[in-house]
Structure 1
Amino acid sequence: MHSDDIERRAERWQRMQDAFHEASELPRDEQRTRVESRSDGDATFVTHVMAMLEEDVRADSMLDLGLAQVATSLLDTTAADGVPDGDFGPYRLVRLLGEGGMAVVYLAERKDLGSAAAIKLMHHAWMSPARRERFASEQRTLAQLNHPGIAHLYDAGTLPDGTPWIAMEYVDGQTLTAWSRANALPLTARLRLFREICEAVQHAHGHLIVHRDLKPSNILVTADGRAKLLDFGIAKQLAPEGDDAGATRTGLQMMTPAYAAPEQIRGEPTGVHTDVYALGVVLYELLSGRLPFDVTGRTASEVEATILGTDPVRPSVVARAATHGADASGASWADLDVLCLTAMHREPARRYRTVDALLRDVDHYLQNEPLEARPDSAGYRTAKFVRRHRTALLAAGAVLSVIVALTTVSAQRIRAARDTAVREAERAQQIQRFTLSLFQGGEQTSEPGDSLRAVTLVERGVVEAATLAAEPVVQAELYQTLASIFQRLGRLDRADSLLQRAITARKALPTDHPDVARSLTALAELRVAQSQLPEAEKLAREGLAASRRARTPGHRDIAVAATVLGKVLEERGAYADAIAVMREALALHTALAPVSPDVAEASTQLGNDYFYAGDYAGADSLFRQSRAVAQALYGDRHPLVADALINLGAVQFQRGEFAAAEKYDREGLAIIQHVYGDNDPRTAAALTMLGRALVAEEKFDQAAPLTKQALAIREKVFGAMSPQVASTVNEMGITALRTKRYDEADAHFARNVGIYEAVYHGPHNLLGTALSNRGSVYTARGDNAQAEKFYRDALAVYLKILPATHLDVGIVRVKLGRALLRQRRYADGEKESAAGLAILLAQTSPATSFVKNARGDLAQMYDSLGQPAKGAAMRAALADTTKK
């Protein structure tokens, strides 16, 4: 179909929709007159709209539900067979995978990487704004989710004719029920697979997203037995109270009746409880081999009567009849009946309140523990205990006495478990309400990165959190979240005070609780930002150890804790140790989801470690890996791709390939500006890096306006006294120094000294750098006594927080040696230059310019000290360095 035809049909269809909506509000005897008045004398137009109105009368209502389906049949606009042409970004369509009412799915291949993807292409996009919005909603939903059990969104776009498409992870597998049958899974294996599905659904709920169409055909199992949740086409974002009363109803045409919850059938609001019901149906089918209700071929009214008016047969009865339950005892099946039918209860209030609660009972069953959903009977509790500990009890010969003693203890335990379940649900609801309400009512037209507005809103959150003293677990979580926001805004003191409040609120928790581990890790990360490295390392190691105790091997919390420890070690200059830790973190993230933001970010951090260790080849490889992962996830124009490009530019800069560095920096800047605009702090950071490359190429006229623009952005967003501002000021100082504008250079570096002293309230490696740079200005001026003072101040700062073998220590000692040489203090100068040179040579890839400086200076000093042999040897080494 040509684009002109599409536009004409779209325009005609819009007129038909308008006529339909207008006429549907009128009495039936007035409808034809209104339609004819909108038809421009087109009899076919009138016929089609009147047919749609008749369909509206026969059906329940097709507004927002079936309008496009009716129009498709009336207008005969079926899609062409085969693989369509079109621009799908980096993807090439290979073959058809499947087709549904709203979309068709193709297998695709990424042209540059050769990786597979699934391209979902909307049917008849020009016909229905409601369907286009649902398609766009699915795209937005997938973009929020990052879980190994949910198919990832890679990219999205629109064809020239307006047809939207999305690229998703291609899952090569069988449907849940087909996999279970084909592999003859035993009962426990089916339950463990069901657990994976629940965890994926819970992840979506954690992002306030309800799936609303859970069924085995939307759950694929890969060859290695991993479940993947698909198709968020009718998913819904939760409102603050769980779902809005005016929710768009899904209707039978937008869901699968056999898995639909009663509230969906009745057209009532949906929420977490709707997905809990569907999970119960999925579990019923997994356990028994058939659906609880047979609604095949039924009319809408018959489906409603069946699901709302009859009770399902217990899955145990169905399974025994079909021999599906051979590996479960009668007592075990009683628990499974309760578990399954509680999830499927007709009344939402009688179901599990959250998927977490359902998961807990699955775990209780697998561990032969009492279910939280079971009636609290002594006989039930003791029977579970005996099954769990049968061998030990018989061996001790004390079954009766233990059972009697246990009855009281277990009763307390069950009550505690139920209380925990209630608290978990209430906690989730409070956090949900808080998160949704915190930023409501704020100014929506603020420029990107408006930190003043952010601080005001977060302070409002602190006041709200203070009212939750009766709920310390919830309060602690909120305090930690708010602390993280303040840390990102550069308000480190405020972040510290809130994090301490979170830790205080968690004092009652056991030491091996996951929240305690998270507190330690968060505090370690803050201490890194505050340059309190010894305490940061201690906390990071404690946090990692606590995460290993609190979580199962391979859990994401362990990878996050390892990443924070890696940051500490990197800041401390222990690059070999940082590399070892970050390799573990990257391996953990990769095992959880090989193509994920976590993998991209961990690759970047490990690349930074290699970079600082001087292994530029290793850094280059990891930055390229990070870029490839980010491109696979998001396409070519995403901030993570930009970060990787700018990091690749930094590698080229260190290699002396300044033109290549400029190229990468420009590509990264273009993406950042495209995403965030010209006035965002991330744009300022990219401008600063590009300015640095231009200065190295001596393109000072091009660099100056960029750094000036970056400074203006950062001062507006972060305020004049911020590390972000200091970063740009530093580059301006270097430019002034290289162009011999010494007063201007010193003013820039002096400003940075003031910023770092005000922000960090003590020693920090950036403060040391600013002092060292002031020394460089005075060296260039020939005022070596003043230069010596600044170098010694910088060295004192470094030695308080960095190991004596750190690269920065080596550089400043070489600089100090030169200042002493030029004061003709040869013995003192030789001591500093030799020590600095030894530190530099111990690095994986020494800072070559400073190695040359040290060797040249030492050659002069040895001659002046009457040690010509040492002087000659140093000149020979210098010549060798120059050749390299």
Structure 2
Amino acid sequence: MDRSRWERIQDIFHRLSDMPLPAQHEYLEAAGDVDEAMKAEVRAMLREDSSAASLLDDEGLPHAVQDLIDQHAAFKENAFGPYRIVKPLGEGGMGVVYLAKREDIGSVVAIKLLRDGLLSPDRRNRFLAEQRTLAQLEHPLIARIHDADTLDDGTPWFAMEYVDGKPITEYCREHACSINERLLLFRSVCEAVQYAHRHAIIHRDLKPSNILVRDDGTVKLLDFGIAKQLEGSGIRVEHTLTGLSPMTLPYASPEQIRGGALGTQTDVYSLGVILYELLAGRLPFDFAELSLAEAQKMILEHEPAPPSTARTGKAAWDELDVLTLTAMHKDVLRRYPSVEALIRDIDHYLKAEPLEARPDSVSYRLGKFVVRNRRVLTATAAVCAIVLGLVVFFVLRLNRARNDAVAEATRTHRIERFMLTLFDGGDKSAGPSDSLRAATLLDRGVASARSLNAEPAVQAELYQTLGNMYQKLGKYDQADPLLRSALDRRKSIEGADGPDVAEGLVALGLLRLDEGRLAEAERLAREGLAIDRRRVPANPLAVAKDESALGHVLEERGAYDEAAKLLNEAVQVQSATHEVTTDLSDTTTLLANVNYYQSHLAAADSLFRQALAMDRELFGDVHPRIADDYYGLGLVQHAMNRDAEAERDYRHALAIKQSWYGKVHPDTALIMAAVGQSLVYQGKYDEAAPILQEALAIQEQIFGKVHPQVAQALNVVAVMEVKRGHLAEAEADFRRMAAINRATLGDRHQLVGIALLGLGDVYAEEKQNVRAEKSYRDALARLVGQLPAGHPTIAATRLRLGHTLVLERQYQEAASQLLAGYDVLSKQPGPPSPRVQTARKDLVTAYEALGQVDEANRFRKDPSR
């Protein structure tokens, strides 16, 4: 079959595949430019598509697609970068999908190849849009993109996360999932969609086949190929035979059918249909005998029967009917306004609490209370009467409390501050928070805060507090709308330059820092600081807190000089009160970190010890903050070549972290690896090896095989193997580390440079000087682009490269590299390290070879120059 004929066949197939059967027949017969043989091929593909055969079964592939795969040169020549093709998986709307394996790190991916990338600009553009959209979405429930490139002929491809699972409806059916189990799976789907909406992306084609569930019950959302950025213009959808319809008819919203502008509530509607199918076991409408026009009319004009009509059982079907039909209401204004609102009502149902979609009434709330407390209420009629009376009392009391919110502002503020200390540890009697109860409490707090629209100042304060709490729990998606809402309300009350607006800007900036959005974090922190500095009279403590926040952001961005200046100013102001506070401890710790990164090790050591003393006064001797202080001290001791002292500090930190979090926790594994590293640098390899291997295993258990934390643990293991002389094992570990960091952080990241630096050390030990030189140069190119000038890691890399160049008799460049590195590392406190001593000898050799005797003598006679 020639390519153009196949392109025509597959184009018709993709247009018909989502239509009802009568419409497929109607359209196919009306296509006058399609001969009978082509129609027969299309019908065969449609029959295959509607069968239950797995896409993982090669025999389930349409023959024409298999022919195309067999003919494609890329399949035979392995032209997909580091990926080796294993087998074809199937065909999608835009291309062929392969199962592939990356040998260096052992990961398995799905590679998507655009079949007609050169012939169809529209399809190629959609393919590239899919690639860009997926790259923005990093969420555990959304299939990630790992790599992208083009073949020699210009055909684009990308490697994405391979998901071995079943459509959510099929999974629930095969596992006979209960109503609650189905709702929990569906809630996970909603979380993934909500994350995409937070990033201004709507899916537009949500359906069970795009929602796979693995055997372990984890959900993955697929196929953002037709997703749309919300800030774009209104989306118009065509439904002609010549158009590509970005939807699947049974799950399409009325606004999609009409071709109107779409938004997040379009996805809410599709989620409602999926929920209906999960609960009822069938779709809300039967299109089996309808033409396309009739099917569209049914969606637009007919109301579906409640899902309860298809089921029998003890579930609270009136609640489920309300929840489902509200999600798929034809009127956008009467639909759930967001996926977040849908999630809230799912949670309300699971907790037997009143739904927000139900009309509120005392009797309804009392009924929900009875359901939640049935066992207690049935004990005696007397208890029932007492409890019901209390419920009525508190419902009325809550109504009065809302009217008195302003008068109670002081008390509310006191309660908020107390709640914050449960997360910060400010209350000395408080132990680790129960995160489940905390999350439940926060969810209820948000629901209560939303009822205070008449009191925007109080509502803003509550939103700010609750957003900060969600942030401390790592729930950034839930913190974001609260902090933004608090900021908006404060701007409407105070104008753009109010003191509370400054606080809100800085708080949002620190959230952006946690999210890794550093440029936006810096902009917001600078705006907040500028407002507080302009105030007359200025509030010194508010300015100091803003400076500390901005210093934190600048530290993460590597702007150490400006960060140090701001943090020093903040420490001076916060110290002037002569009171030990968490703000002062936080700023001191940040300043210690900056001094460590600037190689001001004596200052860093002193500051970490000051922070440790303050944290002990605030929190006692056993607290995660104490462990963090000891970890910082260990880093400084290691940098000063005092690894016995570093080991002592690390072991203090490890004991505390393990007592709070147990062994299987990222903080515990991180410090465990640090203990192992300190043993390696003391030459205690047999003692270090099992500790490092255990730390690596914990990281892999928590994060999986491909994660930057795993790469960091591999680095320490590989360094140990070099020192033990196990060079083959070290090379394998460094290569795996480089591959992980490339896959997760990008090729130019500094941590890729660290891995290449390690590979250079392996080659140097093997006397492969040419390979060592190349690896050191590649490492240096990445480190110089990421780290500030004068960073000790850059200096150490220059010394390694210079030593290799001396061995290769490239003396002129060797002297330049050695001198640049020596000028940094020779000024560090403590005795000269072995690398500095070697550098001095290399400089003597280089200058003598260049005939510069005076320079050679300076390094020979005067170690400090």
Instruction: Tell me the TM-score range normalised by the shorter chain.
Output: 0.5 to 0.7
- Residue 402 of structure 1 corresponds to which residue in structure 2? 390
Q: How many Å separate the matches in 1 of 2:627 and 2:262?
A: 40
Deviation by residue 1:675-702 (Cα, 9 ceiling, x = unmatched): 9999986676567656766777899999
Letter in 1 for 2:315: A
Specify which of 311, 315, 330 is matched with residue 323 of structure 1.
311
Deviation by residue 1:107-131 (Cα, 9 ceiling, x = unmatched): 5566678775544443433332222
- Residue 354 of structure 2 corresponds to which residue in structure 1? 370
Contact 1:520 / 1:543 at 8 angstroms: preserved in 2? Answer: no
Specify which of 669, 677, 681 is matched with residue 611 of structure 1.
677
Deviation by residue 1:789-832 (Cα, 9 ceiling, x = unmatched): xxxxxxxxxxxxxxxxxxxxxxxxxxxxxxxxxxxxxxxxxxxx
Contact 1:431 / 1:478 at 8 angstroms: preserved in 2? Answer: no
- Alignment of 1:358 with 2:358, yes or no, is no
Q: How many Å separate the matches in 2 of 1:644 and 1:297?
A: 60
Contact 1:97 / 1:105 at 8 angstroms: preserved in 2? Answer: yes
Q: How many Å separate the matches in 2 of 1:455 and 1:109?
A: 34
- Residue 79 of structure 1 corresponds to which residue in structure 2? 65
Q: How many Å separate the matches in 2 of 1:253 and 1:708?
A: 50
- Residue 525 of structure 2 corresponds to which residue in structure 1? 462
Q: How many Å separate the matches in 2 of 1:743 and 1:112?
A: 36
Q: How many Å separate the matches in 2 of 1:118 and 1:709?
A: 30
Change (3 A) 1:711 1:373: same
Query: What is the TM-score of this pair, normalised by structure 2?
Result: 0.56
Q: How many Å separate the matches in 1 of 2:163 and 2:85?
A: 16
Q: How does 1:620-699 map to 2 (within 5 A)?
A: 650-656=719-725
SS of match in other structure, 1:337: helix
Change (3 A) 1:83 1:98: same
Change (3 A) 1:224 1:735: closer
Specify which of 125, 131, 138 is matched with residue 139 of structure 1.
131
Q: How many Å separate the matches in 2 of 1:432 and 1:390?
A: 38
Specify which of 207, 220, 223 is matched with residue 228 of structure 1.
220
- Residue 481 of structure 2 corresponds to which residue in structure 1? 428
Q: How does 1:773-788 map to 2 (within 5 A)?
A: none
Deviation by residue 1:544-578 (Cα, 9 ceiling, x = unmatched): 99xx9xxxxxxxxx9x9999997777765345566
- Alignment of 1:489 with 2:542, yes or no, is no
Q: How many Å separate the matches in 2 of 1:167 and 1:710?
A: 26
Name the % identity: 37
Contact 1:520 / 1:542 at 8 angstroms: preserved in 2? Answer: no
Letter in 2 for 1:328: A
Query: What is the TM-score of this pair, normalised by structure 1?
Result: 0.55
Deviation, 1:770, is 6.3
Contact 1:642 / 1:668 at 8 angstroms: preserved in 2? Answer: yes
Q: How many Å separate the matches in 2 of 1:716 and 1:109?
A: 31
Q: How many Å separate the matches in 1 of 2:388 and 2:715?
A: 71
- Alignment of 1:416 with 2:449, yes or no, is yes
Deviation by residue 1:454-477 (Cα, 9 ceiling, x = unmatched): 9998654433455899xxxxxx99
Q: How many Å separate the matches in 1 of 2:108 and 2:610?
A: 46
Q: Please provide the CA RMSD for this pair.
A: 6.3
SS of match in other structure, 1:305: helix
Q: How many Å separate the matches in 1 of 2:100 and 2:726?
A: 37
Deviates more, 1:406-415 or 1:614-623: 614-623
Q: How many Å separate the matches in 2 of 1:498 and 1:362?
A: 45
Contact 1:730 / 1:752 at 8 angstroms: preserved in 2? Answer: no
Q: How many Å separate the matches in 1 of 2:758 and 2:150?
A: 33
Deviation, 1:366, is 1.0
- Alignment of 1:259 with 2:243, yes or no, is no
Q: How many Å separate the matches in 1 of 2:546 and 2:194?
A: 18
Deviates more, 1:90-99 or 1:701-710: 701-710
- Residue 385 of structure 1 corresponds to which residue in structure 2? 369
Letter in 2 for 1:199: E
Q: How many Å separate the matches in 1 of 2:564 and 2:303?
A: 54
Deviation, 1:226, is 2.7
- Residue 243 of structure 1 corresponds to which residue in structure 2? 231
Contact 2:150 / 2:156 at 8 angstroms: preserved in 1? Answer: yes
Deviation, 1:384, is 1.8
Deviates more, 1:682-691 or 1:177-186: 682-691
- Alignment of 1:336 with 2:320, yes or no, is yes
Contact 1:524 / 1:537 at 8 angstroms: preserved in 2? Answer: no
Change (3 A) 1:744 1:484: closer
Change (3 A) 1:101 1:403: same
Please list every run of 5 or more consecutive structure 1 residues that lacks an aligned counterpart in the other structure.
Answer: 14-48, 53-75, 435-453, 470-475, 505-517, 549-557, 590-597, 755-765, 782-884
Letter in 2 for 1:380: Y
Contact 2:104 / 2:736 at 8 angstroms: preserved in 1? Answer: no
SS of match in other structure, 1:132: helix
Q: How many Å separate the matches in 1 of 2:109 and 2:770?
A: 46
SS of match in other structure, 1:220: strand
SS of match in other structure, 1:79: helix
Deviation, 1:660, is 8.5
Q: How many Å separate the matches in 2 of 1:631 and 1:382?
A: 44
Q: How does 1:466-477 map to 2 (within 5 A)?
A: none
Change (3 A) 1:104 1:455: closer
Q: How many Å separate the matches in 2 of 1:160 and 1:543?
A: 63
Contact 2:211 / 2:219 at 8 angstroms: preserved in 1? Answer: yes
Change (3 A) 1:771 1:642: closer
Change (3 A) 1:465 1:194: farther
- Alignment of 1:293 with 2:326, yes or no, is no
Q: How does 1:504-523 map to 2 (within 5 A)?
A: none
Change (3 A) 1:174 1:327: farther
Please list every run of 5 or more consecutive structure 2 residues that lacks an aligned counterpart in the other structure.
Answer: 9-30, 35-61, 403-444, 454-458, 468-477, 488-516, 533-544, 574-585, 598-603, 637-645, 844-865
Contact 1:91 / 1:108 at 8 angstroms: preserved in 2? Answer: yes
- Residue 204 of structure 1 corresponds to which residue in structure 2? 196
Q: How many Å separate the matches in 1 of 2:282 and 2:183?
A: 16
Change (3 A) 1:269 1:114: same
Deviation, 1:398, is 0.5
Deviation by residue 1:470-503 (Cα, 9 ceiling, x = unmatched): xxxxxx99996983454241438738969999xx
Q: How many Å separate the matches in 1 of 2:170 and 2:263?
A: 28
Deviation, 1:348, is 3.6
- Alignment of 1:275 with 2:259, yes or no, is no
Deviation by residue 1:709-747 (Cα, 9 ceiling, x = unmatched): 988986786554555555557768999999999999999
- Residue 786 of structure 1 corresponds to which residue in structure 2? none
Contact 2:627 / 2:652 at 8 angstroms: preserved in 1? Answer: no
SS of match in other structure, 1:228: strand
Deviation by residue 1:55-89 (Cα, 9 ceiling, x = unmatched): xxxxxxxxxxxxxxxxxxxxx99534496343455
